[in-house]
Amino acid sequence: MEKININGLSLAYDRRGKGTPLVLIHGFPLDHTTWNETAVLLEDTFDLIMPDLRGFGQSTTISEAYAIDDMATDIAGLLDHLGIEKAGIVGHSMGGYVALAFARLHPTHVRGLGLVSSQVLADSPERKQGRYDMAAKVGGNGVGVVADAMAPKLSADARVQEFVRDLIMRQSPAGVMGALKAMAEREDSTSLLALLKFAIVILHGNADELIPVDRSREMKAAIVHAEFVELKGIGHMPMMEDTKRTAETLRLLK
């Protein structure tokens, strides 16, 4: 992986393929490797940029609290470093929150937006409290509590579940806690939807146990020009559970 120093941390990214620049942003508490299988199907058409968000994978983090907007600013800095003026920005789940923040903060750098298993809504007060409680548990006991709570919900597919469990166990407590707090404090992006004029693709499995498919149906209802693909029987990890249809859908951002 390549690394750049930016915003007080080291940001790692994988880059492969040739063509239209497309950033693939991973979800919580994972890293860019969740995109690997889908990337194989896209690298003939796209210049794929797959960062590890701050605090995940091979990227470091900072000790101060940070926001989803800061993660979006890291990506903007990375594109700037690479000399890329405009890119398709795709985010999975928490990566979708980052992609939405990127679209709000840097609209002129967006060619198109892809939201995979994500949503525009902010946390309910209960969900927010749950994130702080989980962060405290991670501080006391490590990332195993998150792996236990999340792995079964991320996918019903045993192969994918084992992959994500191993991946979560390799993440740093500081990164996981930082992202939990950033997600808890993120803003509601509903009003942004009407402002998004570029191509938008929305992908969601209807067996998602973490973010219900209704969140994507609602986004589609609010953005007339969006392409919405609903995957039957697929959980929260379409890029691993149905790589073919995920790649086909993201190809629309060409």
Q: Please report, as a single letter, which amino acid is at residue 78.
A: L
Nearer to ligand MLT by C-beta: 82 or 192? 192
Q: Which of 11, 12, 23, 27 binds ligand MLT (CB under 6 A)?
A: 27
In the three-class reduction of DSSP (H, G, I as helix; E, B as strand; rest coil), residue 89 is classed as: strand
Q: How many whole angstroms separate alpha carbon 215 and alpha carbon 188?
A: 13
In the three-class reduction of DSSP (H, G, I as helix; E, B as strand; rest coil), residue 124 is classed as: coil
C-alpha pair distances (Å), 147 with each of 94, 157, 162, 170, 241: 16, 15, 10, 10, 19
Count of residues that bind ligand MLT according to CB under 6 A: 6
Does residue number 71 form part of the binding site for ligand MLT (CB under 6 A)? no
Q: Of 133, 168, 154, which Cα lies nearest the Cα of 211?
A: 154
Q: Which of 147, 183, 203, 226 binds ligand MLT (CB under 6 A)?
A: 183
Q: Which of 84, 122, 210, 222 binds ligand MLT (CB under 6 A)?
A: 210
Residues between 77 and 116 that touch ligand MLT (CB under 6 A): 93-94
Nearer to ligand MLT by C-beta: 94 or 143? 94
Q: What does the block give as tokens for 160?
A: 């994918």
Cα-flanking dihedrals φ and ψ of residue 120, to 5°?
-100, -15
In the complex, least distance from residue 28 CB atom to ligand MLT, rounded to whole angstroms? 3
Binding region for ligand MLT (CB under 6 A): 27-28, 93-94, 183, 210
